[in-house]
């Protein structure tokens, strides 16, 4: 499937889950301070492995950065 | 003895602790983590500031980023307060707050909804809407707001845990542009008032506290100072000094002089 991953068009396997998207971004999903939204809605960490993605979805994987 | 008592007072002991969001904090200084030249510089400044609450942000994950600010904050035992920096609409701010709740496992959010990128002034309409939604959802909402007493009251009415008026534009270092408005906000507020944004140097932070603010949130003034660690020490002292000065009760301003030495008994010398 084709998805928008952090603003980039990416090809993922058809059975990809949210956890696969996190891996594709290259961050360690185990660490605190990482969160994911699919089409603007947050997917809880506990549900990453069981939440399938669909073609054309927009996925945002964010992490803590310094800020004021 | 008095010195010790006052020092303890400044540090929040003897019932002078700082109540915010249902918790008691010792330090009235909140420090932003943005703008530091290195993590090492940030660590030194955060330690020296004595701050217990430090702000963090969320951005797209970048695997090439070096070091982890959050790991450092956790190691120092500071409370990471996420912000919604960069949001222009209530919708974006609410979604960012949801991400922050998940990422940081906290209901606390420093709510920022800005109107444009030149002034970084809050968008009052979007801010109120986002605050109402997030309070309804159970968030502890700390809104960055204009120095507008009516808007501050509306945010308090919406159920925000504090109001955080700007002194002057974010990162401008122009200090408190309208001290009278800050005073009015303080007078009418029944939630903590935290001066957020515009602080340039220690005297600005002291003034905020002398005006009756409950705390100061600053970032650039420390992070971008020539020596951030030193400036953090200065800010810590300024917040404590301003807080104690407010409680001590300053003298009224007078136009003319008033001698502090008595006139009686001046010798005739000539």
Q: A68 in a domain, yes or no?
A: no
Q: Are strands A2-5 and A8-11 parallel, antiparallel or unpaired?
A: antiparallel
Closest in B33, B74, B101 to A67, CB measured:
B33
List all residues 6 or more positions away from B75 whose beta carbon is below 8 Å from its beta carbon: none
Each residue's pLDDT tens digit, A16-51: 999 999 999 988 878 889 999 999 999 999 999 999
For the sheet with B140-145, list strands across it.
B108-111, B140-145, B164-165
Mean pLDDT of chain A: 93
Q: B14: pLDDT confidence band, cut at 50, 70 and 90?
A: very low
Are the C-beta atoms of residues B126 and B92 closer than 8 Å to each other? no
* Closest CA–CA distance from residue B150 to any residue of chain A (Å): 25
Gap between the Cα atoms of A31 and A63, Å rounded: 9
pLDDT at B259 over 60: yes
Query: Which residues of B make CB contacts under 8 Å with A?
Result: 32-36, 42, 55-63, 65, 68-71, 74, 80, 82-83, 85, 95, 98-105, 170-171, 219-220, 223
Query: What per-residue confidence (pLDDT) applies to B4?
Result: 63
Number of domains in chain A: 1
- 8 Å CB contact of B98 and A32: no
A14 in B contact zone (CB under 8 Å): no
Q: Which CATH architecture group holds B2-61+68-248?
A: Alpha-Beta Barrel (3.20)
Total length of chain A: 68
Query: Comparing A22-26, B52-56, B232-236, which segment has the lowest mean pLDDT?
Result: A22-26
Query: What per-residue confidence (pLDDT) applies to B130?
Result: 98
Q: In chain B, which residues have their Cβ closer than 8 Å to the Cβ of A25?
A: 61, 63
Q: Which domain holds residue A28?
A: 2-63
- CATH number for position A24: 3.10.20.30
Of A62, A47, A9, A18, the C-alpha closest to B59 is A62
- 8 Å CB contact of A37 and B99: yes
A46 in B contact zone (CB under 8 Å): no
Tell me the three state secondary structure of residue A29. coil
With helix as H, strand as E and coil as C, how does chain B read? CHHHHHHHHHCCCCCCCEEECCEEECCCEEEECCCCCCHHHHHHHHHHHCCCEEEEEEEECCCCCCCCHHHHHHHCCCEEEEECCCCCCHHHHHHHHHHHHHHHCCCEEEECCECCCCCCCECHHHHHHHHHHHHHCCCEEEEEECCCHHHHHHHHHCCCCCEEECCCCCCCCCCCCCHHHHHHHHHHCCCCEEEECCCCCHHHHHHHHHCCCCEEEECHHHHCCCCHHHHHHHHHHHHHHHHHHHHHCCCCCCCCCCCCCCCCCCCCCC
Gap between the Cα atoms of B29 and B240, Å rounded: 9
Q: A49 in a domain, yes or no?
A: yes
* Closest CA–CA distance from residue A37 to any residue of chain B (Å): 7
Q: A13 in a domain, yes or no?
A: yes
User: Counting one residue from A and one from B, how many pairs have CB atoms under 8 Å apart?
Assistant: 105
- 8 Å CB contact of A66 and B104: no
Are the C-beta atoms of residues B48 and B75 closer than 8 Å to each other? no
A58 in B contact zone (CB under 8 Å): no
Of A67, A34, A64, A38, the C-alpha closest to A51 is A38
Query: What per-residue confidence (pLDDT) applies to B13?
Result: 45
Q: Where are the domains of chain B?
A: 2-61+68-248
Q: A40 in a domain, yes or no?
A: yes
What is the ipTM, given to two decimal places?
0.92
Q: B214: pLDDT confidence band, cut at 50, 70 and 90?
A: very high
B163 CB-contact burial (10 Å; exposed 0-12 / middle 13-18 / buried 19+): buried
Region for residue B12 given its phi and psi (left: phi exceeds 0; alpha: psi -120 to 50; beta: otherwise): left
* Closest CA–CA distance from residue A25 to any residue of chain B (Å): 7
Query: What per-residue confidence (pLDDT) applies to B107?
Result: 97
List all residues 6 or more positions away from A18 whose beta carbon is below 8 Å from its beta carbon: A36, A38, A43, A47, A48, A49, A51, A53, A59
* Closest CA–CA distance from residue B257 to any residue of chain A (Å): 43
Q: Let me know if B78 is a catalytic residue.
A: no
Tell me the three state secondary structure of residue A33. coil
* Closest CA–CA distance from residue B54 to any residue of chain A (Å): 8
Mean pLDDT of chain B: 93
A31 in B contact zone (CB under 8 Å): yes
* The two structure tokens encoding residue B251: 């003298």
- 8 Å CB contact of A65 and B220: no
Each residue's pLDDT tens digit, B124-173: 999 999 999 999 999 999 999 999 999 999 999 999 999 999 999 999 99
- 8 Å CB contact of B74 and A32: yes
Q: Which of A43, A58, A62, A67 has the most B C-beta neighbours within 10 Å, making it the best mutation to test the interface with B?
A: A67
Tell me, what DSSP letter sits at residue A28? -
Closest in B34, B102, B103 to A66, CB measured:
B34
Of A61, A40, A45, the C-alpha closest to B93 is A40
């Amino acid at each position: 499937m084709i998805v928008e991953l952090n603003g980039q068009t990416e090809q993922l396997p058809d059975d990809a889950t949210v956890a696969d998207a996190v891996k594709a971004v290259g961050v360690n999903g185990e660490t605190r301070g990482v969160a994911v939204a699919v089409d603007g809605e947050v997917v809880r960490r506990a549900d990453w492995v069981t939440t399938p993605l669909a073609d054309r979805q927009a996925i945002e994987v964010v992490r803590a950065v310094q800020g004021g | 003895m008095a010195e010790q008592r006052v020092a303890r007072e400044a540090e929040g002991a003897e019932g002078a602790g700082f109540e915010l969001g249902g918790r008691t904090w010792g330090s009235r200084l909140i420090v932003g983590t943005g703008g530091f030249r290195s993590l090492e510089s940030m660590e030194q400044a955060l330690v020296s500031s004595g701050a217990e609450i430090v702000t963090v942000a969320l951005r797209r994950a970048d695997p090439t980023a070096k070091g982890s600010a959050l790991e450092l904050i956790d190691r120092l035992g500071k409370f990471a307060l996420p912000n919604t920096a960069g949001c222009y609409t209530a919708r974006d701010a609410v979604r960012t707050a949801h991400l922050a709740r998940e990422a940081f496992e906290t209901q606390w959010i420093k709510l920022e909804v800005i109107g444009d990128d030149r002034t970084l002034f809050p968008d009052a309409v979007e801010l109120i809407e986002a605050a109402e939604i997030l309070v309804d959802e159970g968030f502890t909402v700390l809104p960055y707001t204009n120095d507008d007493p009516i808007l501050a009251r509306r945010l308090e009415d919406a159920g925000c845990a504090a109001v955080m008026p700007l002194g002057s534009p974010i990162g401008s270092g122009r200090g408190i542009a309208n001290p009278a408005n800050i005073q009015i906000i303080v007078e009418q507020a029944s939630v903590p008032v935290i001066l957020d944004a515009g602080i340039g140097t220690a005297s600005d932070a002291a003034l905020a506290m002398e005006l009756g603010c409950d705390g100061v949130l600053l970032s650039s003034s420390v992070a971008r100072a020539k020596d951030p660690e030193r400036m953090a020490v200065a800010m810590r002292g300024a917040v404590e000094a301003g807080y104690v000065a407010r409680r001590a009760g300053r003298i009224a301003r007078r136009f003319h002089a008033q001698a502090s030495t008595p006139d009686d008994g001046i010798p005739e010398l000539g």
